[in-house]
A and B are shown apart, each in its own frame.
Chain A
């Protein structure tokens, strides 16, 4: 119900939509009544007097027919255009919200789902606004108008309509609650069955290895057929309530016809009003049936909307923008970050828990990255070292504690501004659709060709770029799928070099054991870490050995700090960690 309210709210947000649809509905009602009135007069004249009393009525009749269709078309077109406006707004908001939420949200492998929501789910709202909402409005306006008219012509028929309409609405409500719930559950099972089928297809190789592929086919058959039998039982209930609804409508029409007939025989009324009422009766019940048809659009729409609102409502609690909107850095502060002595970083009592987790990943982290120094982070998977880097990158905000750069708390800093001072080489760098040059220029829009090539040369990327026929203008698509892992690494390093930021965060690639590309990446890495504050999530012994300081992470805390040789003599966690790996 809440989702429907929000969707109606969205429609209401488009200026004049509800009044517009209501006015068109009212016009349609008027035209329908006029058309049936004219028709009843013509038929009555021909039938009773064997003449057409007033031939111009026929022209009017054609006019009403044309007008009615035109209004129907116009209403749909108007609703459609409104839907375009609403969908467009939703999509833009969603995208900008996602950008605001940043990598912390898309990190969790939800990308596929999010894209489906933005593309397909938003499109599914189309029918909601073009069909469902107009038919909801129509069901209020048309029957009321017809009832008022019928009462003025023939009150007993009006009474039948007045009594049966709420009855039908009641039945619809009944379907809406009881049967709908049942069918929804069943459709849910249906999609489970379909995902079960997908599961089997995806695991087919495993099944083949076990020689179970035939047996599994029998299973799929049995469970699907079983499902059909159970579903049909449930659907029968739903169809039964549909039947009651239909019955109510057609019996009501029959009732109007029969009682009008009887009163005609009794001479209590004349033929023309009787026919008029009979012609109006199906028109009266039509909107109920139409709403029944579009009810599905309503359900689909609200299911799709739930996914959309889910993203919209994803809290800003971990979004850096929450803070950045409040304050932004003033000019003298920027100078503070840009001074010649470099950028020093400090973590004070920093705690962090992922929104969907019970345990904190980082527990009271205290440390310093001295300006111009190389700090390595070591520790096993899940020890919190990547989270540590992400916090520094500003992708997420700590639950408590302060991270500061040159004594300026990051929390008070504009997100986008902070990123001006960072270069990042992720473990799996992404390259956007566009040429190699365009990708490099993203970090420094005004860079000259010399600067770009210089960076590429230093990172070892130039050699493979030059081999492409189109060189720096080689287009990259699908996350640079034409580049190998090593090439992507080198290009990512070139990108970071070009940016030349005072703080570098580098997530060393894990082993590929391809000795050649390892060597190139290692050399490039050595070049880039010079002359700036660097944080490396280390996967190489050499890197930690060279580091000015090592932060050894264990279970979300920093267990030890110090230089490599210091830590070895200490014979603590670091030393035993190296022993496990057989690296000592």
Chain B
């Protein structure tokens, strides 16, 4: 939570301005009501009209300034909120950016990131809903107290007492009640949600198994449980408003009671009595939002804990610092894995003593069933994470000692999780080569057979590239790789969700563009295997077979069985 306040401190001037303006708004309200009270009291004494000139002017002044000051307060505070939001986003981006790929692999990034963005949005309101109201209440409370001491110290103290009750005690009580009820309600609600997710995802099976009525009954029963809790808690949320109302009017009442004898014995002039009463009542406006601020605090605190714990998490497994930032001058003559072992959680090994070498210009395939460690191998190769033991070398250099961006520029990666950003086709392509001209971009599209998009670089592919078919997405990735003129092409399960014809098309395009580039193809589909110089068969994190298609097939091992099985497959 303190970290969030740190963001606010970066904008001290705006912060001070917003708080002062908010205080000014309420002061103007106090001014309006007390000068009005004084005005009519004084008028009742029937002085000359000119005597009241100043007071009427005061009434008008406060009336107008209240609205104007409020306007500026809103402008300044909202601007500040946006600035805070921006700062938090950027900071978070930098954090995530520094996270390793392992971090992404071991968590569910999709859900997590969605949660994060909404957490940030909750936190942007910390200033507007929590920090500012608390400070304003403090300022108004102090100023009112100070002002009241001019009339009578006892009146000042009784008002202060009610400020405390309204500003501290009642929010605490409410927050305590809310927290107690919150837990049970949150639990019941999440139980309901788990049930809902389960039944909706399984709607197909629910349907044919005739579970409609059962599910409805269970759902209604759980909902009734939630209703029961919510009904019991119904009184709590209204408590804030009515307590504020009660305490402010009671304060006014006690001030009145205490002022009466003072007026009667002349210590306070009767003509200011109405002003005093109305002023005290108006000052409680500053305490209206406080109970809400406390509740907001709970939410924001949770959000900030979640958010900052992400950063904490990563500290436990940081990316080891690179000892050298050497850049490669030439294309390395080979890429090799030497006795590489790796585990995500430190227990179950994902890769066990993997060694192989890919000479420049060669074609290598890594095949094996899902979960055999192929994707992990690629992540290590792309330097998203260093191996636990063994080394990966580009030529003579250990890749983890090379400068990251420079090293990755060796590769053109066409993979399943190649992200299509929700922006124009042009911008999506420019990621691969920021300085490319439109002609080059069009050329790349034509090269990969996406001619039909060549005339429309401005087309928007939609969220997660929805408007592209699976094949088009892979071809777009291929176009990106082509634009980069990288020397090593990595194909990661590119044809996994494509039908036979599209698969053929993508592969043909690949072969036509390949030239003398090095190719590394990771796949569980055994297509075009006879074109490979070497095939590495992975199973359970190890390379179990190695050789050309003909060699492996004649060995009658796992590869041969996989190949035979594939002959059985219709799609």
Contact = CB atoms under 8 A, between A and B. Distances in A.
B238 A72 contact: yes
Given A264-B40, A580-B500, A430 B570 contact: no
A482 to B, nearest CB: 14
B567 A583 contact: yes
A514 B234 contact: no
Interface string B261-290: 001100000110110011000000000000
Interface stretch (B93-101, B131-139, B442-450): B93-101
With most chain B CB atoms within 10 A of its CB, the pick from A213, A254, A378 is A254
Interface string B525-549: 1100000000000000000000000
Contacts of A432: 198-199, 202, 205-206
A531 interface: no
A50 B369 CA distance: 96
A204 B189 CA distance: 33
B113 A198 contact: yes
A176 to B, nearest CB: 18
Interface in B365-423: 369-370, 382, 384, 404-405, 408-409, 411, 413, 417-423
B13 interface: no
A257 B274 CA distance: 12
B59 A258 contact: yes
Contact of A75 (B238, B250, B274, B566): B238
A231 interface: yes
Given A258-B39, A380-B571, A217 B211 contact: no
Contacts of A213: 97
A434 to B, nearest CB: 9
B330 interface: no
A507 B554 CA distance: 33
Contacts of A130: 237-238
Contacts of B434: 212, 215
Interface in A409-436: 416, 419-420, 422-424, 426, 429-433
Interface stretch (A77-85, A331-339, A363-371): A77-85
Interface stretch (B215-223, B313-321, B347-355): B215-223
B360 interface: no
B258 to A, nearest CB: 12
B192 interface: yes
Contacts of B423: 196, 199
Contact of B64 (A66, A250, A422): A250
Contacts of B79: 228, 232
A239 B75 contact: yes
Contacts of B235: 73, 76-77, 80
B513 interface: no
A68 B243 CA distance: 10
Contact of B97 (A204, A265, A539): A204
A14 interface: no
Contact of A199 (B94, B264, B421, B525): B421
A368 B246 CA distance: 78
A235 B37 contact: no
Interface string B106-138: 000110011011000100000000000000000
Contact of A43 (B33, B66, B242, B274): B274
A147 B366 CA distance: 84
Contacts of A240: 71
A378 B570 contact: yes
Contacts of B211: 442
A91 B242 contact: no
Contact of A115 (B33, B83, B200): B200
A513 interface: yes
A161 B210 CA distance: 64
Given A72-B238, A381-B571, A47 B273 contact: yes
B177 interface: no
Interface stretch (A94-102, A349-357, A454-462): A94-102
Contacts of B382: 209
Given A199-B422, A424-B205, A541-B567, A242 B71 contact: yes
A401 to B, nearest CB: 22
Nearest to A258: B56
Interface in A196-216: 196-213, 215
Nearest to A207: B431
B97 A69 contact: no
Contacts of A256: 36
B428 to A, nearest CB: 10
Interface string B233-265: 011011101110110011001001101100110
B41 interface: yes
B56 A205 contact: no
Interface stretch (A219-227, A302-310, A465-473): A219-227
B237 A225 contact: no
Given A73-B235, A80-B234, A96 B90 contact: no
Interface in B438-477: 463-464
Contact of B196 (A73, A95, A583): A95
Interface string A434-449: 0000000011000000
Chain B contact residues, majority secondary structure: helix
A11 interface: no
B370 A479 contact: no
B161 interface: no
B431 A426 contact: no
A15 interface: no
A416 B212 contact: yes
Contacts of A254: 32, 36, 59-60, 62-63
Interface stretch (B1-9, B42-50, B150-158, B514-522): B42-50
Interface stretch (A138-146, A267-275, A555-563): A267-275
Interface stretch (A57-65, A162-170, A340-348): A57-65
Contacts of B62: 250, 254
Given A65-B249, A257-B59, A92 B219 contact: yes
Contacts of B418: 206
B97 to A, nearest CB: 5
Contacts of B249: 35, 65, 68-69
B511 interface: no
B508 to A, nearest CB: 13
B480 to A, nearest CB: 8
Nearest to B89: A197
A251 interface: yes
B414 to A, nearest CB: 10
Contact of A514 (B40, B369, B484): B369
A202 to B, nearest CB: 6
Contacts of B44: 47-48, 264, 270-271, 274
A420 B211 CA distance: 11
A202 B230 CA distance: 37
Contacts of B370: 485, 512, 514
Contacts of B329: none
Nearest to A231: B82
Contacts of B55: 261
B226 interface: yes
A204 B199 CA distance: 33
A174 interface: no
B147 to A, nearest CB: 19
Contacts of B194: 433
A391 interface: no
B566 A513 contact: yes
A115 B196 contact: yes
B113 A99 contact: no
A395 B70 contact: no
Given A65-B249, A202-B464, A203-B420, 10 more contacts: A65-B250, A114-B200, A203-B419, A210-B431, A232-B75, A261-B42, A380-B571, A430-B201, A430-B206, A540-B570
14 contacts: A47-B263, A48-B270, A85-B227, A99-B206, A199-B423, A206-B419, A209-B413, A210-B408, A224-B86, A265-B46, A282-B33, A429-B205, A511-B565, A580-B504
Which 6 pairs from chain A and chain B are nearest by CB? A76-B238, A203-B419, A430-B202, A257-B36, A69-B246, A271-B44
